[in-house]
Structure 1
Amino acid sequence: MTPAVRVGVIGLGAIGQSLLKAFTASSEVQVTAVCDVDASLADATAREVRASAWTDHRSMLGTVDLDLVYVAVPPKFHHAIALDVLAAGRHILCEKPLALTLSEARQMERSAQAAGVVHALNLPLHGDPGIETFRRLVEEGRLGRLRRAEVTLVFPQWPRGWQQNPWIGGREQGGPIREVGPHLLHVLLSVLGPVKRVWAHTEYPAHDPDACETAALGTLELEGGLLVTVSCLTNVPRPEQVSLTVYGAGGTAGLTNWATPVVAWGPGPLEPVPVEGPRVPAGERLVGALVSRVRGEAGDLVDFRMGVRIQALLDAWEHASATGSWVDVEPA
């Protein structure tokens, strides 16, 4: 029998715990070690999944035989911990965004390439049949000449109720642009192509210099000339909205509620489009692809190269917001 892929998890917050369930549900994975700076959380999780508990990731990496390590800590710790994982020669899955800065992201990608290991970013929309249906609608040409695209992010509460932690509402690491933006930026880059330059305006709470943005507006200019408007608004009495819309001369296609494809031909209303293929849970898709790649087989993953491209966009967004001017996106 093929041996199970031995997985270690570093970071046991809400996101780490969520994907941990997908790992433990797979018969092809053995969660061997878990690590968190909160010793009681590490111990409790380890007992639940029958793994060893650690509070120091270096000790875990130096002691436990692992095939793959999942880095699920807050963003400012991705760079240092990922480099330790790669130095240990382990395959790696990292949470998004890949890093806090483009220079960190580039170093992580170079180190992963040099280590010759599988490197992946956790972007749950990747491979979703709704996203693939949207891609087909855009790429098949029936929309005609593309005229404009728009991204809309609305959150009645930020941080969201399930996401209460010390960093997600902070300016250094958190905020909806950095936390939610990578999901749709990945779709944009994959379907519409590279972004040439960015303009952005961001609003922050006047009374709290450490708090993340409450609103943002921006424009992305793609290399082909298409403009993508970005609107983000938090803490308003409206339902959550995460959507992407592409307007063409002959029709409109979009994604509503993150991954539900919609289309309108001519002046008609946007209507849901049946997705192509079964909807497998995102965690199950990701774990299956990781297992395949670790075993040297085919598997569809978002690698660190895409993480660098997304980070280049986020860096340009922050620079544009700070300067009030257009900023070129650095090549990944």
Structure 2
Amino acid sequence: MTRAVRVGVIGLGAIGQSLLRAFQADPQVEVAAVCDVDAHLADRTARPLSASAWTNHREMLGAVDVDLVYVAVPPRHHHPLALDVIRAGRHLLCEKPLALTLGEAQDMQRAAQAAGIVHALNLPLQGDPGIETFRRLVQEGSLGALRRAELTLVFPQWPRGWQQNPWIGRREQGGPIREVGPHLLHVILTTLGPVARVWAHTEYPAHDPAACETAALGTLELASGLLVGVSCLTNVPRPEQVSLTVYGADGTAGLVNWAVPVAAMGPIPLQPVPVEEPQENAGARLVRALVARVRGGPGDLVDFTMGVHIQAVLDAWERSSAAGTWVEVTQA
């Protein structure tokens, strides 16, 4: 019998705990160690797992035999922790965005590739049947020549109720563009192609210069010439909306509620599109792919190369917002 893949988790906040449950539920995985700066949280999490608890990740890496490490800490800590994991020769799953800056993301990508480890980014829409259905609708040609796309992000509250932590609402690391943007940027990049340049305008609270954006407008110009309009608005009396719409000469296809595909051929309302593949928990899908890759087999993962491409768009967005001009996207 193949032994279980031994996992260590660094960072036990809401996201870390969520994927920890998926690791725990997979019979092919053993959670061997958990680490958090909050010693009580680490102990409380480790006890029912029969795992060891740590507050220092370097000590954990030096003392515990783990195959894979999940880095689930705030973005500004991704780079140093990931490099420590890579130097220890462990396979690596990192939260998104990959890093705080493009330079850090590129550094992580180069180090992971040189080490020959499995490296992956936690983007739960990867492999989602609704996303795959939307992608086929756009790429099969039935929409006709593509004319425009629109990405809409609306949040009645930011940070959202389940995201109450010290950084998610701050400008340095948080905000909806940096936090939610990578999910949909990944869909855009893999469905419509690379982004060539960006124009962005971002609004911040006047009374708190450290707070993240409350609104943003922008345009992504793809290498194909297609324009993607981006609209983001927070703290408005509306339900949450995360949607992507692609307009063609003959039809329209979109995603509503993150991953529900819709389409219309001709001037009629968008209608739900049946999804043939069965839906499953995104965490379970990710863990299964990680186990397969760690064992040397095939697995559908988003690697650090795509993480760098996403980071390059985020970097261009921030530079454009600061400069008030179009900014070229650095191609990794």
Q: Above 0.5 in TM-score?
A: yes
- Partners of 1:238 and 1:199 in 2: how far apart? 26
Q: Which moved more, 1:46-55 or 1:80-89?
A: 46-55
Partner in structure 2 of residue 195 of structure 1? 195
- Partners of 2:287 and 2:275 in 1: how far apart? 22
Partner in structure 2 of residue 54 of structure 1? 54
- Partners of 2:117 and 2:275 in 1: how far apart? 33
Partner in structure 2 of residue 219 of structure 1? 219
Partner in structure 2 of residue 184 of structure 1? 184
- Partners of 2:205 and 2:269 in 1: how far apart? 37
- 1:143 shift after superposition: 0.2
Which residue identity does 1:113 align to in structure 2? Q
Which residue identity does 2:292 align to in structure 1? S
Pairing 1:264-279 to 2, within 5 Å after superposition: 264-279=264-279
Query: What is the aligned length?
Result: 332
- Partners of 1:275 and 1:193 in 2: how far apart? 23
Pairing 1:1-332 to 2, within 5 Å after superposition: 1-332=1-332
- Partners of 1:48 and 1:77 in 2: how far apart? 27
Which residue identity does 1:223 align to in structure 2? A
TM value normalised by structure 1 = 1.00
Q: Deviations over 1:199-256 (max 9, x none)?
A: 0000000000100000000000000100000000000000000000000000000000
- Partners of 1:120 and 1:39 in 2: how far apart? 27
- SS of the aligned residue for 1:197 comes to strand
Percent pairwise identity: 79
Consecutive unaligned residues in structure 2, runs of 5 or more: none
- Partners of 1:57 and 1:40 in 2: how far apart? 15
- Partners of 1:121 and 1:280 in 2: how far apart? 19
- 1:78 shift after superposition: 0.1
- Partners of 2:82 and 2:65 in 1: how far apart? 17
- SS of the aligned residue for 1:297 comes to coil
- Partners of 1:289 and 1:99 in 2: how far apart? 22
- Partners of 1:281 and 1:260 in 2: how far apart? 15
Q: Which runs of 4+ in 1 moved over 6 A?
A: none
Consecutive unaligned residues in structure 1, runs of 5 or more: none
- SS of the aligned residue for 2:289 comes to helix
TM value normalised by structure 2 = 1.00
- SS of the aligned residue for 1:110 comes to helix
- 1:50 shift after superposition: 1.5
